[in-house]
Structure 1
Amino acid sequence: MKKVLLLILLFICGFYFSQQIHVKYLRVLSSFTTSYEDLYIKNNQVLSIQDSIIINNRLTDSWTLGVNLDNGKKPTKQYFVSDLDKDKNDETEKNFFFTSNVDSREFFIYDKVPKPDWKIEENQIKTIAGYKCIKATGTFRGSKIIAYFTKDLPYSTGPFKFYGLPGLILDIRAENKDYNIWKAESVDVNDKTAVTFKPQFLKKEKISLKDYVAAKEAHMNKIFAKVADALPKTNFKTKITTNQRFTVEQKYEWENDSETK
């Protein structure tokens, strides 16, 4: 009987890992705007693609104009490339390669992402995209996060750079915020989309994560300075705070507390 159960389990695992999985996430960028992120999984390969099209916030039904801050250049999709580690239970960090652009410069960045110290709450259950999901909490680069994952899809991964749970993450968000949210809208376990899981980005400039973060924040600070200069001159002092991070990544591994205050 045990051998039969083992064979059934192996068959199920073999079926899932031979198929291409596609998860479409609604990605909440701010209180007003959202976009989409598409996650593809096949044969231990993972590719996540963030759409550049900004739409109204479907969670709050609010709307604002999406402002392109990259010198009027049409934003491009961003790619996140990784793998499923066979020894996922022992994995303490994962290699990611991702693309981004800053001030019309297109980058290809390598990132070694630490695994969140997850706490699983087996009794906290909800259904997402038709799957029974279990709650987990943790900390990701300075942000407290709440995730819901499903053991019915045995992949230790999720959108963006999230991973490390014993099942696919279908909902993840920064705690106590109405943005930095990824929520699965659909799951296709037999997807036929033609996907290149190891895309080549030969025309993009290779840069370290630390240098990329510095370039991005210097660019944003220039924008903040322009906004401050454009404000009406009054007797009241208006302070524009620089070095703000509007992403879920609030603190990186090379930073200490004094650098991020």
Structure 2
Amino acid sequence: MKKIILLTLLFISGFYFSQQIHVKYLRVLSPFTTSHEDLYIKNNQTISIQDSIVTQNKLTGDWTMAVNLDNGKKPTKQYFVSDLNDDSERNFFFTANVDSRDFFIYDKVPKPTWKIEEDQTKTIAGYKCYKATGTFRGSKIIAYFTKDLPYSAGPFKFYGLPGLILDIRTENKDHDIWKAESVNVDDKSTITFKPKFLNKEKISLKDYVEAKEAHMNKIFAKVAENLPKSSKVITNQRFTVEQKYEWEK
């Protein structure tokens, strides 16, 4: 009997890891705007692609126009590439655009210290999910993951749970939310899991963060010029789930 159970588990595990998984997430950027993120997993490799199209926030029903502040340049998709592992850190390679410059950045991301609450469950995209709480680069986060898909992965740079993350969000915020809309365990899309990005400038994570924040402060300064003198524009804010990096400890 034990051999039958073991063989069954090995068959199920082998089936999942031989298939290509595709999860489409609704990504809430702000209280008013959303986009999508597509996560693909196959043979221990993952790639997550954030769409550049900003649309109506389906969770709140509000609407706003997407404003492109990057010198009129059309937004580009962002890619996050990694491999599955059980280490305390995971290597991510991702792309970004700042002030019309295209970057390719290496990031070693520490695994969050998760606390799993087995008694807190919900069904997402047809899968039973369990609640977990943790801290990710200075933000308290709440995740729901499913044990039915045995991948320590999720959207963006999230990972470290004993199952695929189908919902993750920053605590007490109405944005920085990723919620799975669909899961395809036999996806047939042609995906390049290790794109080269030869046309992008290689840069360290620290240099990228500094360039991004300098650009944002320049934008805030332009906005301030058109406001009444009594108005205040707060600079040096990070409008992201990543609030504190490792070198800032």
One-letter identity of the residue aligned with 1:55: T
Within a 5 Å distance, the mapping from 1:1-261 to structure 2 comes to: 1-85=1-85, 88=86, 91-233=87-229, 237-256=230-249
One-letter identity of the residue aligned with 1:68: N
One-letter identity of the residue aligned with 2:54: I
CA deviations on 1:156-186 (whole Å, 9 max, x unpaired) are 0000000000000000000000000000000
Give the C-alpha shift of residue 241 in structure 1: 1.1
TM-score (norm 1): 0.95
Give the C-alpha shift of residue 232 in structure 1: 3.2
DSSP-derived class of the 1:254 partner: helix
Give the C-alpha shift of residue 230 in structure 1: 1.0
One-letter identity of the residue aligned with 2:137: R
DSSP-derived class of the 2:215 partner: helix
Query: d(CA) in 2 for partners of 1:242 and 1:212?
Result: 17
One-letter identity of the residue aligned with 1:184: A
Query: d(CA) in 2 for partners of 1:149 and 1:62?
Result: 28
CA deviations on 1:22-71 (whole Å, 9 max, x unpaired) are 00000000000000000000000000000000001000010000000110
TM-score (norm 2): 0.99
Query: d(CA) in 1 for partners of 2:147 and 2:163?
Result: 4
DSSP-derived class of the 2:9 partner: helix
Identity of aligned residues (%): 82
What are structure 2's unaligned runs of at least 5 residues?
Answer: none
CA deviations on 1:180-220 (whole Å, 9 max, x unpaired) are 00000000000001100001100100000000000000000
Give the C-alpha shift of residue 4 in structure 1: 1.0
Query: d(CA) in 2 for partners of 1:252 and 1:240?
Result: 24
Query: d(CA) in 2 for partners of 1:62 and 1:242?
Result: 26
Query: d(CA) in 1 for partners of 2:240 and 2:228?
Result: 29
Query: d(CA) in 2 for partners of 1:156 and 1:222?
Result: 38
Q: What RMSD in Å do the two structures reach over aligned CA positions?
A: 0.6
DSSP-derived class of the 2:247 partner: coil
